[in-house]
Structure 1
Amino acid sequence: MNITLILFLIGILGFVLNRKNIILMLISIEIMLLAITFLILVSSLNMDDIIGQTYAIYIIVVAGAESAIGLAILVAFYRLINSPVKNPRSNYSGDPAPPSGGRGPYLHFNLLPVVSSCNLIQSRNYSSVLHRKIPTHTSCVWAGLNPSFITGFSDAEGSFVVTILKNPRYKIGWNVQARFQIKLNEKDRALLLLIQNYFDNIGYISKINDRSTVEFRVSDITSLNNIIIPHFEKYQLITNKYGDLVIFKQIVSLMLENKHTTLEGLKEILEHRASLNWGLSKTLKESFPSIIPVKRVKIENNILSNLSSLPLLPGGGNWVAGFSSGEANFFITMSGTKVWLRFSIAQDSRDILLLKSLVKFFNCGYIAQYKNRKVCEFIVTKINDIIIYIIPFFDQYKIEGSKYNDYVKFKEAAILIKNKEHLTEKGLNKIIELKNSLPPPASLEGGMNKNI
């Protein structure tokens, strides 16, 4: 009797203390049930003349079943806490992509088979004709991101930042911090979590805020030196951000030598910082007027900038998918019953070489340059080019993040137009519905020079 009471009290105590752990709660409930079962068992054995031997045997069977369930819960709990977590980066040792050339399998909630992307494209002569309707959204959880995809996305959205702020608490009166960061809209939090997971879960993801933004940031100098920089040395940046990385790496090296703790070392860091991003702030220029910026490495010196090399780069397709996930736009425009589609990627005019390489990469489109803004744009508007080149590419090398839904709607509209369904009232209404669900086209004001 005392044993059953002790078991019951242990079960209650475990239930109260482990309300946030479902497995421990179940174990506690199991202990309470065992206590009650054994209590009934003991009582029945003392009153055989009332209940009978058959009922006593039944109670014994129930007690055994309860014990088996409890043991199963304990085994499940043990396996859970001891199961290894596989590092997704282990899929990418050596080659920029798995043997299939894609990003690896993904888990799909609709019980579709596990699939992988196809091999890297060496030719741009797509010829598939699309007829099948597609859903407007999907629910997929990818097992990991391709390294070249992450580099392409970082070329679009990543930043190498070095802040130098006046702070009297430091010996030299200045505090130097270096960080790598990617800042996105809150709706892309899941994508940043995947990127953080790829980088061995270093850094941190910002909490939900009223600005609807989310940021992945790595500021630990060891993590920058051992994980972030080696990644971008192996899977190289292609835009002018490559020059930022070179300077950023030099500053990190100086900080590892503790140069940022001396005034002379700080001046050396400032010479590099003056050539990074937008240069020195007004405060830094006034405090250190004699600083001479180091020369930035020219993008032409980067072997990846060769206009003919992008289609042949190892992981080139994944880089373009990552870059497009950050910078591409999928638009549907209408005038009355006329419908146009536009796929575009806009960049600072410094990266016009990159956009010209995209014309060769996709074998279609043109470059637009704007008179009143230092912006250039890669644009594809011909429906046949969109059907033959753009859609097959992004079906193979997936857009990630919230922009994926934009692509899906864009693709559905393209199929409707290709099949002449936009000439019917039903098809036109569907395209209007798709158009209204997409972000409006960004206005690049000013005149435009069009280069084919």
Structure 2
Amino acid sequence: MPAFGIISTTISTNSNKPIFGYIGMVNWPTLINNYVKPLYMLGTSNILNTRNNKYFSENFKDITMSNQQVNKFILFIKEITLFIYFIFYNLRDYTRGIFQSERLRYSPIFYKSTRRSFNNAVPVNKVFKRNYSIDNRLHKLDPNWVTGFVDAEGCFSTIIEVSEDLKRKVRVSFEINLHEKDEQILVSIKSFFGVGQVYNRSDKKISIYRVTNVNYIKDNIIPHFIEYPLMSKKALDFLLWSKVIEIILNKEHLSEEGFLKVLSYYAYINTGVSKKVQKYYPNIIPADKPDTFLPETLHPQWVSGFVAGDGGFSIYIRSAKDYVISEKVSCRFHIAQHIRDLELMKLFIKFFDCGSVGVRSNKATPRCDFYVQDFFLIVEKILPHFDTYPLLNLKQQDYLCFKECVSIIKSKTHLTREGLNKIKSLNLEMNSNRLK
């Protein structure tokens, strides 16, 4: 068969194994069913669902647009060419160890992880693109949105383990923990970075996106936050954490001097030194804190990402004897943070051109809040922003309910029993009620 000769030449030229050694590796029934038959059907059909792959999409498009203009022989040649390219790429990737039989079940389009109890088909081209994941064409998330969301929900973790015989271990991770109902945004973030895994802890009703491989962190995570810097005080954690990554990559943490250097950075990251580590190393000398700076203005995508994590849209219904239906409705948009980010909260006033910042010092952990509760300002300043820059995660549903409530109030329908009941119904779908 002529096509087989072309395939043999192509593969032999690009590999060190004889062609017949690779032919047995191909899942021929799946390949023929998923590719040869659809390609043959192109001769009589103008509709085709293509993969998210530049090469195949362009060729499919070419075939689909040409099948009414060229004879069947030309169409057949194009089909065979596409078929040959698929075989070449399939076998090439097999030689690189991408489709390891003990780990993956695969077909020409998708791979499925056998390490989990559920099937999670992922396009093969996303696996190949792992090292180029910062390419925005592969996902819908804006990089500034991602940074804003990580400012709110992310964690740059360093874990020090010390045993009784003073054996030491240093582990690092970048992770985001959310309610399990918000897992989809973690899948999108994983796709954005192209590395890491999303885990589900059904016992705790949480989903976790985590990256622990230091090379992935070096190549994918750190470059992103250098190009799109964090705005909150979490930037300090990131900078110190990056120093720890550098020490690990250079294997300096294996020496006493290098380990003590790790401890000096560890002392300032997140909650600081654990009691167990302090027991064995009571005289840790903290490293100098790097300087962090706030910009003059906030990026709108960063704002939406940050609000998706730490913002809130609330509807309050209170008794009011002077109202016809004896109940009053009010709206509030707010963002809560630790007091150390007070200056950041003040930037929201400048960004939205409205609102106030308050401090809650009566809490065990001092907090500060940016909030807007003037109805006119919510309509004129807050809603237009989130209509343009959506929240993207589960909180977007809260925003839509909030917006509908605002619309009811604006039309004065909330002054009727029917309108008030509608607001009460929407309120039961928002915030913590949505997570039940």
Instruction: Identify the TM-score tier after normalising by the shorter chain.
Output: 0.5 to 0.7
Residue 434 of structure 1, CA deviation: 0.9
Identity of aligned residues (%): 33
Give the aligned length: 326
Quick check: 1:153–1:322 contact (8 Å CA) kept in 2?
yes
| 2: CA distance, partners of 1:380 / 1:157 | 22
Residue 268 of structure 1, CA deviation: 1.1
Alignment of 1:227-242 (within 5 A): 227-242=220-235
1:89 is paired with a residue whose SS is: coil
Distance 1:175 1:392, change over 3 A: same
Q: Which residue matches 1:196?
A: 190
Distance 1:84 1:436, change over 3 A: closer
Residue 371 of structure 1, CA deviation: 2.5
State which of 153, 157, 160 in structure 1 corresponds to 2:156. Answer: 160
1:207 is paired with a residue whose SS is: strand
Specify the code of the residue in structure 1 equivalent to 2:190. Q
Residue 83 of structure 1, CA deviation: 8.9
Distance 1:423 1:158, change over 3 A: same
* 1:322 is the counterpart of 2:308: no
Specify the code of the residue in structure 2 equivalent to 1:274. A
| 2: CA distance, partners of 1:145 / 1:189 | 15
Max Rg structure:
1
Residue 84 of structure 1, CA deviation: 5.4
Quick check: 1:275–1:295 contact (8 Å CA) kept in 2?
no
Q: Which residue matches 2:415?
A: 423
Quick check: 1:168–1:174 contact (8 Å CA) kept in 2?
no
1:302 is paired with a residue whose SS is: coil
Specify the code of the residue in structure 2 equivalent to 1:89. I
Residue 76 of structure 1, CA deviation: 9.0
Distance 1:77 1:433, change over 3 A: farther
Distance 1:422 1:218, change over 3 A: same
Q: Which residue matches 2:403?
A: 411
Quick check: 2:154–2:177 contact (8 Å CA) kept in 1?
yes
- Superposition RMSD on alpha carbons, in Å? 3.3
Specify the code of the residue in structure 1 equivalent to 2:353. N
* 1:333 is the counterpart of 2:329: no
| 2: CA distance, partners of 1:385 / 1:326 | 22
State which of 390, 393, 418 in structure 1 corresponds to 2:382. Answer: 390
| 2: CA distance, partners of 1:214 / 1:338 | 38
Distance 1:435 1:289, change over 3 A: same
Specify the code of the residue in structure 2 equivalent to 1:377. D
Q: Which residue matches 1:186?
A: 180
Quick check: 1:161–1:178 contact (8 Å CA) kept in 2?
yes
Gapped regions of structure 2 (runs ≥ 5): 1-26, 38-78, 87-107, 110-122, 320-326
TM-score computed with the length of structure 1 as normaliser: 0.65
Q: Which residue matches 1:116?
A: none
Alignment of 1:34-433 (within 5 A): 81=109, 89-91=134-136, 143-167=139-163, 173-199=167-193, 201-297=194-290, 301-305=291-295, 309-311=296-298, 316-336=299-319, 337-373=327-363, 374-433=366-425
Gapped regions of structure 1 (runs ≥ 5): 1-16, 29-71, 92-103, 105-141, 442-452
| 1: CA distance, partners of 2:211 / 2:124 | 28
| 1: CA distance, partners of 2:331 / 2:32 | 52
Residue 207 of structure 1, CA deviation: 3.4
Quick check: 2:134–2:220 contact (8 Å CA) kept in 1?
no
Residue 231 of structure 1, CA deviation: 0.5
Residue 404 of structure 1, CA deviation: 0.6
Quick check: 2:36–2:83 contact (8 Å CA) kept in 1?
no
1:222 is paired with a residue whose SS is: helix
Quick check: 1:331–1:440 contact (8 Å CA) kept in 2?
no
Quick check: 1:324–1:399 contact (8 Å CA) kept in 2?
yes
Quick check: 2:294–2:344 contact (8 Å CA) kept in 1?
no
Q: Which has the higher contact order (CA 8 A, sep 6+)?
A: 1
Distance 1:289 1:149, change over 3 A: same
Specify the code of the residue in structure 1 equivalent to 2:182. D
